[in-house]
Amino acid sequence: MISILCDGPRGRRVVLELIRDTLSEDMRRGLFELAYQADVAAGASVSRLTFTRAGETSPAMPPVPSLTEFAEAIRLAGPPRPDEEALANAVRVSVDVARYWQAADGDDLVAAVPVVADALAEIAVGLPESPAAAWWRRDRAIEQWAVEFDPGGDGAPFDAAPGAVRTWRERTNADEARARVDRPADPTASWSGEWWSHPSGAPHTTGALGSGVPAGIPYVEDGFGWTRAVAIPVRGAGRTYEIGGVDDWVHLCRAYPIEVTASRRHDWYRVTGRDGRWLLPDWSRVADDWDAVHLSGWGYLTAATREIVVDAEYSSVIGGWGPDETYWLSGKVREIDEPRVHWIADEQGGPWRRVD
């Protein structure tokens, strides 16, 4: 059996992180070398240092395994059986290293090689059914939390921003028009801009993990290493569109299309290698039928950071979202009369603990 968890880069990275420490020392070193080579081949500028004592020559580099040998080591490691903490950390790493403005990092590139990806998928068959992964497939939870990082005091007032998606459409159309004039059609040109695909400006919330911490605190793409956060309790009403995988995103792009080829071409080429036309859902039109859009943990792990084929001409990318994240489109969300909760971490990446 093969797990579709590894159809997406984020899911593959979760499995790779879970089995990393179960590999032999030689194979862990081999993964480091393979990832280094992949980074260099992708055009990254990577420096490496080797320390030796005075009078000693540099030690010989250990042999680098072939990708086939590394895949076999993955199979020998066997299915991961993580507890909640280990799985949470693997997801955190996967979210943290997601990037859309340059090629994937070396570990992601190694995990994407078909022989390695197949091995990861084989050992991951039972992982989505583990108790620690139960939240991956849940729909939007009733209890939701908006998160503010590095808050001043108890944080800013919560804003339902009912008109945010209209502003988003105006800004997106203007950015696309400028990009058609200002930016070259060559996808390899050194240009960058907005790469995210969520309706920026609209309020966004998450449910809580089994540990009680809102998913939006540890799981943030392109974060800034925050160690303080305040969680604001909110409730929403109306209809929620559930994104549980690629097909759900494709439906949004087909039903409510807005073209973003000129403005996204260069960034999305770097992350997917595809040169073509690009679509996003027009969130202002989605809001005519849906009050919120929720990306489940499973939807994130299987569909984010990859090319999503919409039709013969267009593709799309889910970027900038977090797992279990909901964007509110019509303003039908409000802060409720319950205490805000402060969370802190002693170092970047957590673990996070509640401050009472």
Residue range 212-242, pLDDT digits in tens: 999 999 999 988 889 999 999 999 999 999 9
Token pair recorded at residue 221: 């793409």
Amino acid at 231: A
List helix spans (H) across 124-245.
Answer: 164-182
Q: Closest Cα partner for 116 from 26, 9, 44, 273? A: 9
Residue labelled with tokens 């070396």: 106
State if pTM tops 0.85. yes
User: What confidence tens digit (pLDDT) does each residue in 258-275 have?
Assistant: 999 999 999 999 999 999
Say whether pLDDT at 55 is over 70.
no
Which of the 8 DSSP states describes residue 162? T
Residue 350: band (very low, low, confident or very high) from pLDDT cuts 50, 70, 90: confident
Looking at the DSSP assignment, which residues form a beta bridge with residue 294? Answer: 242, 326
How far apart are the C-alpha atoms of 112 and 215, rounded to whole Å? Answer: 26
List helix spans (H) across 78-155.
Answer: 84-97, 106-112, 114-123
Long-range contacts of 17-22 (CB under 8 A, 24+ apart): 17/89, 17/90, 17/93, 17/94, 18/80, 18/82, 18/86, 18/87, 18/90, 18/127, 19/74, 19/77, 19/80, 19/123, 22/77, 22/78, 22/80
Instruction: Measure the CA angle with vertex 244, ends 321 and 193; round to 5°.
Output: 25
User: What confidence tens digit (pLDDT) does each residue in 86-103 have?
Assistant: 999 999 999 999 999 999
Q: How many CA atoms lie within 13 A of 309 on its CB side?
A: 4
Distances (CA, A) of 227 to 232, 271, 344: 17, 28, 5
| Residue 81: partners with Cβ closer than 8 Å, 6 or more residues away | 130
Output the average pLDDT for the chain.
Answer: 93
Say whether pLDDT at 49 is over 90.
no
Residue 44: band (very low, low, confident or very high) from pLDDT cuts 50, 70, 90: low
Segment 161-190 shows an average pLDDT of 96
Whole-number percent of the chain with pLDDT over 90: 89
Token pair recorded at residue 353: 């603990």
Residue-range domain boundaries for the chain: 4-136, 138-355
Q: What per-residue confidence (pLDDT) applies to 41?
A: 82
Token pair recorded at residue 69: 């040998």
Say whether pLDDT at 51 is over 80.
no
Q: What per-residue confidence (pLDDT) applies to 63?
A: 80
How far apart are the C-alpha atoms of 322 and 220, rounded to whole Å? Answer: 6
How far apart are the C-alpha atoms of 94 and 31, rounded to whole Å? Answer: 16
Q: Closest Cα partner for 157 from 293, 334, 331? A: 334
